[in-house]
Chains A and B, each alone.
Chain A
């Protein structure tokens, strides 16, 4: 490793990560949870988990090194955050495993319930933005989530795939569907 201090000291990495990613993570979690405090919780937990992870990596001689880990930090953070959000949603809607869902109930347990943002979240936005918000709210949950990860968090297709568990191709497909749907609303033809 080039900088031994960096290798031994994960706190620098953590501080930078918080600075760099807290906003997009909060926006993402907020969009999923519709609850600013819960979003704060989720993001805090995400960073605490990062502390643990970074420590683990720093203490281990095995790959990945901290520097390597830092290069794919963003998808890691969003993955952790997403898992956390889903956990919180699960807790919110407790379901004993013995109770069955109706077979026709299409929402599987592990689904992100309702990714945002929704119009309420952006009441102060300008007219144009309100139009965009409205169009976005008409997208499917998955499309909204991916759109957010792309446009707000700036993740690449591959990274989004990593976070959501979809394939890269699938991400491209969903994003394109989202853009295509929005076009109908937003672009006069």
Chain B
């Protein structure tokens, strides 16, 4: 049956039988069936197969969950309280006064550690619910691993100002509740402190850290010296508590809310008592945590008067905790306003473990370093502007995600230079490529009237690196370091990584090498270095990747570097490609350690590319630091289109560095320019001495990369309002200005130069830099007559300033940005500029609504 064999190559057959074709496809396929009888035969056979399969699977013995497991699940589903909390609570009853004090102090710690603890607590719950009666010892031992978390991490967490999510709808009820509890908190603060002093002093127990250890022990002591959790307190002891004032009750409540407020794991303790604060910073207080949580929850029960006899967990404590939980979650999304009221610590952001697919761009976990915009600088005082180039583009993708998600991006997520550099511009590359080793890149400058401030000039500095074809570029030894932790399971993370890598595989040469290292709780080599010619094997390894577990970025990075070194290509490209959402949540979370490692490795010839995936808890700050300090590059991938751009269209640029440590220094001529401002590149500024210092690292530029920087230049005789007042002339210094001669002899032709651009770069494998110099003459070309690319890029810069609500945005609004962008889209082969139009519109609409 040769015909049917051929017909069987069509996988629509199975899809048709399984009714997976769309109506259109079905119609088309049925029409085809009419024409090709062998297709109909094949379908009959396929149906025969699936019928047999259905019958077979239906015949298999059906099993259901064991009764006790069923019960465990029902238990977990009914007590919809935070699992660790509820389980640790059951069977507990406590001395309220002591508990209030202990809870109050220990809960401070929760704010610091809860995010770390959370997952573990839930696991504890699983154990508890299926296993024997919960014991506090179990809870503590579950928590214990975190005790060993290094002090640095913890203290870092507590020292860091918490960050708050902005632009969230404030929950009025929650605000009121919080304010009230805040009040009562204050009211009872003194009392608690007194209690603590009384309690702590006589009972301090042998412990490596007296202040922290003792308070934990006290919590157990209050149970009557036996740490057994099921201990039932005699009624009289409890009734002694009846006189406890309401404020103390509320204390329990507010304490329970505290973790919500401190969800960021980074909020300083809400009490200012030195002693309590100190406790909050001591990692050794950790083992007491679960107990403290349970204290809080039993307090909840008592406040509502439902706990009878203090025996066991009242049935609706869990219900209560659910509410507390929900309040807490709401609390964690309160607006900045409330945040500021309750946390006068300059809090910034919460970190939640929400890994749902719907995680919005304003996801609580996303972290950005603050950006302080460059200001106008007087040429007389700062004749030199020095910076390192930056070819990263992540910020634009980030901003796009925000806007497409219907939110304005946070100002600190807008890095203007990355937005400008996201787009392709038609710059002329270095000439004479055939064999002749010319400069690795070309530099050009253009000046025009500044569109948003007509009295100023806008100067564009453009670099274009040479292009390399697939065959020209050196062989690649790539090690993919893929984060397969649980947080990567979202469809815009790991699946996108996999799809992106498939795109990339098509772009690689057959003699390139690819290895895959995954890291989750532990790291593993999924695929040792394999030539791309065996792409089937690589694909197979790829498609098997699964997300699960927590992240230990450090071990993975180490393994990836080891793998890369083993297969090191002497004259080739050796590169680690780190695909992560940046949420390194195990072990040394320390960016520093990772960065240090990456930097050392870069020196030995193994470079790093960081690809950021997804939105939830995307640690932008850390990714940026890893790629900047380790001289790598960094892109943010949120869609398959973006993956294609980074991994296919710009692959050689991503992989092959044509020059490294590229520094720009511009010397302005004070005779022509009074002040200037560099737009963007805030985190790329260098000291002027660094320019000639070859030991100072700077950015690298890949094949085909373009770099654009804009200076807003103020002509002599005009001074911007924003410029800082001049300092008085120095009394004791001689006054040889750097450009004195130029400035004096205005009749000389040289004096019409606006600036001199100096570039320094090193070859990818070299240590000595080459100098390049370009000079710019003043030009009053109207903005309207400069090329499309210039106008477009300027509009992107202006867009960035609008998004940052920059004081330097000048007379422009979103409408001006839109007008220029629409007139400067040019060919736009990938529709990127067209997309930008939509983003500007979105931003404009959002801004109108907010104001």
Chain A residues within 8 Å of B, Cβ to Cβ? 9-11, 14-15, 18, 22-23, 26-27, 30, 36, 39-40, 43-45, 47-48, 51-64, 68-69, 79, 82-84, 86-87, 95-98, 100-101, 103, 106, 108-112, 117, 121-122, 124-126, 128-129, 132-133, 136, 147-148, 150-152, 156-157, 162, 164-167, 170, 172-173, 175-177, 179-180, 182-183, 186-187, 189
Interchain residue pairs A-B with the least CB separation, the first 3: A176-B11, A14-B77, A176-B14
Question: Chain B residues with Cβ under 8 A from A133's Cβ?
Answer: 56
Interface-centre pick from B65, B498, B499 (highest chain A CB count, 10 A): B65
**Shortest beta-carbon distance from B202 to chain A in Å:** 42
Shortest Cβ distance from B366 into chain A, in angstroms? 14
Known A165-B498, A165-B543, A187-B48; contact A129-B55, beta-carbon cutoff 8 A: yes
Q: A27-B60, A51-B77, A69-B356 are in contact. List 17 more A-B contacts (CB 8 A).
A: A23-B63, A44-B65, A47-B77, A56-B353, A56-B356, A58-B80, A59-B326, A60-B329, A83-B546, A109-B524, A117-B60, A128-B52, A156-B20, A165-B544, A172-B14, A182-B52, A183-B8
Q: Which chain A positions have C-beta within 8 A of B64?
A: 22-23, 26
B686 within 8 A of A: no
Q: Which of B66-74, B212-220, B426-434 contacts A (4 or more CB under 8 A)?
A: B66-74
**Of A83, A121, A167, A172, the contact of B489 (CB 8 Å cutoff):** A83
Task: Pick the residue among A22, A63, A111, A180 that contacts B358 (CB under 8 A).
Answer: A63
- Note all chain A residues with C-beta closer than 8 A to B525: 97, 100-101, 109
Contacts A/B (CB < 8 Å), 22 sampled: A48-B76, A54-B80, A58-B80, A60-B329, A95-B524, A97-B523, A106-B540, A108-B527, A112-B544, A124-B61, A125-B59, A128-B56, A129-B56, A151-B50, A165-B545, A166-B543, A167-B499, A170-B543, A175-B11, A179-B14, A179-B49, A183-B48
Q: How far is the CB of A141 from chain B (nearest CB, A)?
A: 10
Q: Which residue of A lies closest to B8 (CB)?
A: A180
Cβ of A21 to closest chain B Cβ, rounded Å: 10
- State in angstroms the CA–CA spacing of A7 and B317 once bound together: 20
Q: Which of B372-380, B388-396, B547-555, B802-810 contacts A (4 or more CB under 8 A)?
A: B547-555
Query: In the assembled complex, how far is the CB of residue B66 from the closest CB belonging to chain A, in whole angstroms?
Result: 6
| Option from A39, A111, A126, A182 in Cβ contact (under 8 Å) with B59 | A126
Partner among A82, A162, A186 whose Cβ is within 8 Å of the Cβ of B49? A186
Chain B residues with CB under 8 Å of A176's CB are: 10-11, 13-15
- Inter-chain contacts of A83 with B (CB < 8 A): 489, 546-548
Whether B356 lies near A57 (C-beta < 8 A) is yes
CB of B126 closer than 8 Å to a CB of A: yes
Residue pair B549, A87 in contact (C-beta under 8 Å): yes
Provide the main secondary structure of the chain A interface.
Answer: helix
Residue B526 CB within 8 A of the other chain = yes
Q: How far is the CB of A12 from chain B (nearest CB, A)?
A: 9
Interface residues of B (CB under 8 A from A): 1, 4, 8, 10-11, 13-15, 17-18, 20, 45-46, 48-50, 52-57, 59-66, 69-70, 72-74, 76-78, 80, 82-83, 122, 125-126, 129-130, 169, 322, 325-326, 328-330, 333, 353-354, 356-360, 484, 489, 491, 494-495, 498-499, 516, 518, 522-530, 537, 540-541, 543-549, 555, 559
Q: Tell me if A48 and B49 are in contact (CB < 8 A).
A: no
User: Assuming the A-B contacts A103-B529, A151-B57, are A62 and B360 also in contact, with contact meaning beta carbons closer than 8 angstroms in the complex?
Assistant: yes
Task: Tell me the complex Cα distance, A122–B66, Å.
Answer: 20
Q: Point out the residues of chain A lying under 8 angstroms from B489, CB to CB.
A: 79, 83
Closest chain B residue to A27, Cβ basis: B60
Interface centre among B45, B49, B130, B545 (most CB of A within 10 A): B49
One of A69, A108, A121 near B60 (C-beta < 8 A): A121
Complex: A57 Cα to B352 Cα, angstroms: 12
Complex: A187 Cα to B499 Cα, angstroms: 36
Alpha-carbon distance between A44 and B63 when the two chains are bound, in angstroms: 13
Which residues of B are found within 8 Å of A108, using beta-carbon distances? Answer: 516, 526-527, 540-541, 544-545
Q: In the complex, A155→B684 CA distance in Å?
A: 51
Question: Which B residue's beta carbon lies closest to that of A19?
Answer: B64
- Let me know if B70 and A110 touch, CB within 8 A: no
Residues of B with C-beta under 8 A to A129? 55-56, 59
Q: How far is the CA of A124 from the CA of B56 in the complex (A)?
A: 12
Assess whether B522 is in contact with A97, with CB atoms less than 8 Å apart.
yes
Alpha-carbon separation in the docked complex, A11 to B77 (Å): 5
Q: In the complex, are the beta carbons of B325 and A59 less than 8 A apart? A: yes
Residues of B with C-beta under 8 A to A179: 13-14, 17, 46, 49-50
Q: Tell whether A86 pairs with B65 under 8 Å between CB atoms, given A14-B77, A128-B52.
A: no
Q: Do A64 and B357 have beta carbons less than 8 Å apart?
A: yes
Q: Would B78 and A11 count as touching, CB distance under 8 A? A: yes
Chain A residue at minimal CB-CB distance from B518: A110
A13 vs B74: C-alpha distance in the bound complex, in angstroms?
Answer: 11
Residue of B nearest to A14 (CB): B77
B contact residues around A63 at 8 Å (CB): 358, 360
Known contacts: A26-B64, A110-B545, A110-B546. The answer to whether A189 contacts B14 by CB under 8 A is no
- Which chain A residues lie closer than 8 Å to B82 at the CB level? 55
B48 touches A26 (CB 8 A): no
Nearest opposing residue in chain B for A182, CB measure:
B49
B495 partner residues in chain A, CB cutoff 8 A: 165
A147 to B46, CA, bound (A): 13
**Residue among A15, A111, A183, A187 with max Cβ neighbours from chain B (10 Å):** A183
Chain A positions within 8 Å of B65 at CB level? 18, 22, 26, 40, 43-44, 47
What chain A residues lie within 8 Å of B66 (beta carbons)? 40
B321 CB to nearest A CB, Å: 10
Contacts of B543 in A (CB 8 A): 164-166, 170
